[in-house]
Chains A and B, each alone.
Chain A
């Protein structure tokens, strides 16, 4: 049963087409990697699936509900309450401590501060971040910052976690640790994951891959190609 689907999604930036009828179905609890060369439209597809961008044509459905026709306020609420995000550069708020960064989605969702911070703290030992709760982003290594970003992406227990090049700024070993934690946490929480990556080693953590080429999404199959 698909929790997330895109049908015939097209989107242009000015006169430049980024997506040209892309389609994709993601099952609940599945980890799907979206791959493709630079400029293929893979991040644009993720942004459409997550309700960040609205396609010019086509439909996006989440949990049986069409979301591309919703207004900005409703999509914003959906992103806050149902989706989690991890981006390439963590994008932590530099003025906040690591703990406050993790608590942010809960605070924005109206959870009381004490409760939000308590929930945020639970993630620190799970992601090997013990003792770093009070640090600001400038006092964290790249790998630590990305784990804090991962905790922030998962703290509100989203149905879907969207990750855009989550290890792109990390060395191989640190990137691997982040992916191990991302996959373990998502599996433990039953969270669906859509990860955009150009790195095959990251895609290898997914249950399956789709490749975006020229604005369309193609599922990959190891069955012999028909000539």
Chain B
């Protein structure tokens, strides 16, 4: 998650105080990893320095919470460009899973047993995410879904690899 761009995106909705930005970030994007106020104000400071936000009216009282931040044209352009860009697809070709299976076969160990254990661990996590999804609100469900689909992709790979273990064993033991 890119914190500066996310905060900029939140500011594009409406000018906000740092406190409101932190609250909304934590509610939608933090999910167990809330931002510290220091992170929020440091990030806003950098965005202001780079001309992507300006400080608007300052409310009564003292302290950084009195400042209201407004996105600039430059900031809005950056948010637009970021939203339009696809995320880099990561092929995960050299995963730990792959390394374990290949090494197990090289060492003459039971790669199938390892794959079953991994499959059980993945399914256990999928059960937990399914529970979260069934009991939670829509935002929790969407995040759980993201995790579920990725775990499912791993499981498909595990399934296919299990079916190819003999051929793979022959290949790596040469």
Please give the residue numbers on chain A whose beta carbons come within 8 Å of chain B beta carbons, in ascending order.
37, 180, 199-201, 203-206, 209, 211, 213, 218, 220-227
Contact = CB atoms under 8 A, between A and B. Distances in A.
Interface in B118-174: 119-124, 126-127, 129-130, 134, 148, 151-152, 155, 159, 162-163
Contact of A200 (B114, B122, B162): B122
Given A204-B130, A221-B120, A227-B109, 18 more contacts: A37-B159, A200-B123, A200-B152, A200-B155, A201-B130, A201-B148, A203-B123, A203-B126, A204-B126, A205-B127, A211-B119, A220-B119, A221-B117, A222-B117, A222-B120, A225-B113, A225-B114, A226-B113
A199 B149 CA distance: 11
A199 B120 CA distance: 14
A211 B117 CA distance: 12
Contact of B126 (A200, A221, A226): A200
A148 B104 CA distance: 48
B151 A227 contact: no
Nearest to A204: B126
B116 A201 contact: no
16 contacts: A200-B126, A200-B152, A204-B127, A204-B129, A205-B130, A209-B120, A211-B116, A211-B119, A220-B120, A221-B116, A221-B120, A222-B120, A223-B117, A225-B113, A225-B117, A227-B104
Contacts of B113: 225-227
B31 interface: no
A168 to B, nearest CB: 15
A220 B134 contact: no
| Chain A at the B interface: SS class | loop
B110 interface: yes
B163 A37 contact: yes
Interface residues of B, number: 25
Interface string B86-127: 000000000000000000100001100110110111111011
Contacts of B119: 211, 220
Contacts of B152: 199-201
A205 B163 CA distance: 25
Contact of B124 (A201, A213, A222, A227): A222
Given A180-B134, A200-B155, A222 B121 contact: yes
- Scoring A180, A203, A225, A226 by chain B CB atoms within 10 A of each residue's CB, the highest score goes to A225
Nearest to A184: B134
A224 B114 CA distance: 8
Contacts of A204: 123, 126-127, 129-130, 148
- Which 7 A-B pairs rank lowest in CB-CB distance, beginning with the nearest? A225-B113, A204-B126, A220-B120, A222-B120, A222-B121, A225-B117, A227-B109
B6 to A, nearest CB: 27
- Scoring B123, B151, B162 by chain A CB atoms within 10 A of each residue's CB, the highest score goes to B123
